[in-house]
């Protein structure tokens, strides 16, 4: 048990999926895992452990934004021994060819600031995914004929952004999508020698202004969860 995760020793699997929304964690666990049990509900941030094809898996909500994710990932790795951490979530598309419901696999993540910024001082660290996980996730998408894009994303620390100039430059430099957690996840995984990946479903589009209605979002996220589980145990 830690300050933010009320699980008992042995309750957390070495493979952890990290949706931001605790209710998405509940949906994913009940939909894709067997022998599911609730292992954390501290502060309402639900976590569940079960099995997928006989493999132990924990699905733990991580909250919104890098500061929140940083707390949960630090504790999962340092106190519970997590080794493979895959963020599953939504993103806003930043390129015309990336469409609603497409899946984006984040090879790298640019950011203006993370909770780890102070570690590097003047250094600009380049957070990147684990290649084995990335390759396996991409192969799973191709096998399932899921529209998928692999490349750089942007981890923002602001939800209601007013930096049109920054958005324009990110689009100019080929950034595929924006979300709020991946850069810190990749940095922590590098620090502690773990594997990490971020798989995102496009829920809205910064160029076309399209977005998925809330009742369609969960149904569109199933492919992403299956890709994450397949990649984790490839």
User: Domain segments of the chain: what residues?
Assistant: 15-232
Give the span between the Cα atoms of 167 and 178, in whole angstroms: 9
3-state DSSP helix/strand/coil % of the chain, to nearest 5 = 35, 30, 35
Report the topology of domain 15-232.
Rossmann fold (3.40.50)
Through-space distance between the first and last CA atoms of the chain, rounded to whole angstroms? 30
pLDDT tens, 144-188? Answer: 999 999 999 999 988 888 888 989 999 999 999 999 999 999 999
Q: At what angle do helices 66-78 and 182-192 cross, to 10 degrees?
A: 20
Catalytic residue numbers read: 204
pLDDT at 1: 66
Reported pTM: 0.95
* Residue 111 host element (H or E): strand 103-111
pLDDT tens, 1-28? Answer: 688 999 999 999 999 999 999 999 999 9
């Amino acid at each position: 048990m830690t300050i933010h995760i009320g699980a008992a020793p042995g309750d957390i699997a070495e493979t952890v999926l990290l949706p931001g929304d605790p209710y998405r964690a509940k949906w994913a666990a009940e939909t894709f895992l067997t022998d599911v049990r609730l292992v954390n509900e501290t502060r309402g941030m639900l976590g569940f452990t079960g099995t997928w094809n006989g493999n132990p898996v924990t699905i733990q909500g991580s909250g919104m934004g890098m500061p929140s994710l940083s707390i949960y990932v630090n504790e999962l790795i340092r106190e519970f021994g997590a080794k493979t951490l895959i963020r599953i979530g939504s993103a806003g598309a930043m390129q015309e060819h990336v469409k609603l419901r497409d899946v984006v696999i984040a090879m790298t993540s640019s950011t203006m600031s993370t909770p780890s910024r102070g570690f590097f001082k003047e250094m600009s660290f380049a957070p990147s995914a684990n290649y084995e996980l990335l390759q396996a996730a991409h192969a799973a998408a191709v096998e399932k004929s899921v529209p998928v894009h692999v490349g750089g994303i942007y981890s923002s620390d602001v939800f209601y952004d007013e930096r049109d100039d920054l958005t324009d430059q990110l689009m100019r430099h080929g950034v595929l999508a924006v979300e709020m957690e991946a850069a810190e996840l990749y940095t922590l995984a590098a620090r502690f020698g773990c594997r990490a990946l971020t798989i995102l479903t496009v829920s809205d589009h910064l160029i076309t202004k399209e977005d998925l209605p809330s009742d369609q979002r969960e149904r569109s996220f199933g492919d992403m969860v299956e890709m994450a589980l397949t990649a984790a145990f490839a």
